[in-house]
Amino acid sequence: MAKSFSVNVLSAAFYSKFPSIFYPEIEYKPGRPYVVMLFDIDGNKFALPLRSNIRHDYCYKFKNTSRETDSATGIDFSKAVIVNDASLIGKPVKMDQDEYVELFKKFYFIRKRFERYLKGYIKYRESNGNVNEYIRKRYIYCTLQYFDDELGL
């Protein structure tokens, strides 16, 4: 498997299709781009947001960054969305060089961790939420809930 990912923003069409009033867990800050790492798993194109100030462990936290920040930055698995329609994907973006190099070097690790998170979400949905409190907290606010059809649930 080749390292195949890109870093883009989501398009205006994405926000039209998924307005925050109906999809409150999707990241939306008017005037700020939603920068995502894109890659395919099982026929779906996942967009995982690059975020600063991540306060949970359902993510990959950057070890090397030149950005000045007091909090953890990284890839947030809990806010992943599916963008199978190319019109939902905006332009490629330039990002912090250290973070891009880290994404490239850690691509398989990040992908494997996200796949584990995704499998956990699917099990959670199949259990109808009949899980312990720790697992419920992991998935109750995640954005994958809006993509059950694409996940075959």
pLDDT tens digits, residue range 36-58? 999 999 999 999 998 887 778 88
Closest CA to 47 of 60, 57, 35, 55: 35
In the numeric block, the tokens 């870093």 are attached to: 7
Q: pTM for this one?
A: 0.88
Domains of the chain: 6-147 (3.10.129)
Grade residue 64 by pLDDT with cuts at 50, 70 and 90. Answer: low
Helices 97-105 and 107-126 pack at an angle, to 10 degrees, of 70
Give the tens place of pLDDT for each residue, 80-129.
999 999 999 999 998 878 888 888 888 999 999 999 999 999 999 888 76
Can you tell me the distance from the alpha carbon of 75 to that of 62, in angstroms, rounded to the nearest whole number?
8
Position 63, amino acid? K
Question: What is the helix (H) or strand (E) element at residue 123, kind and residue range?
Answer: helix 107-126
More confident residue, 13 or 71: 13
Grade residue 2 by pLDDT with cuts at 50, 70 and 90. Answer: low
Instruction: Decide the pairing of beta strands 81-82 and 59-61.
Output: unpaired
Q: What is the DSSP letter of 32?
A: S
